[in-house]
Amino acid sequence: MAVRDILRMGDPRLLRIAQPVREFNTQELHALIRDMFDTMHAANGAGLAAPQIGVDLQLVIFGFRQNQRYPDAPPVPETVLINPTLTALSADMEEGFEGCLSVPGLRGSVPRFKRLRYEGFDQFGMPILRDAEDFHARVVQHEVDHLHGILYPSRIRDFSKFGFTDVMFPDLDPSDDD
């Protein structure tokens, strides 16, 4: 369909609380999801939230077999998740480096729950209930944060672990973070 422009940090639309999706299985919703996948794939992303393209809805997509931006990450199932809720399955947290298509060229170490359950709906209104751990759980938490107006730099605890990707990770292609 179409690759959409991705909003960047500083745009106030990224700070809004997204509205719930009220209608499922519509032409408009399917077209939006196709555009989101086209946009995510064009940017080599691991996920994308509707607010990142200026759409104020509780809708995230994520998943990949292999991702150039995270070459060591295991596959994450391609998922459409609407009106999500997250429940931590333990108090265990893990630090890990994250980037964001809305914060290009930068990475930072962010604490996230190691295991969680996510619930919501797919584009047809069918319920989704999954347990996730490690990188899969990290991706879901990162994307759902966008629905609450949260960008990952606000979760960083140690700013010595935040910087430009090409400086901190010289073996990665810096264009993969743009």
Q: Which of 23, 119, 133, 143 is catalytic?
A: 143
CA atoms within 13 A on the CB side of 132: 25
Query: Edge-to-edge, what's the strand order for the sheet holding 93-100?
Result: 93-100, 103-113, 162-164
Phi, psi of 147 (to 5 degrees): -70, -15
Q: Which residues contact 144 (CB under 8 A, 6 or more apart)?
A: 49, 60, 81, 84, 86, 118
Catalytic residue list contains 23: no
- What's the token pair of residue 68? 């150039």
Query: Which residue shows structure tokens 């990162």?
Result: 142
Q: CA dihedral defined by 11, 28, 145, 135, rounded to 10 degrees?
A: -120
Name the residues annotated as catalytic.
143
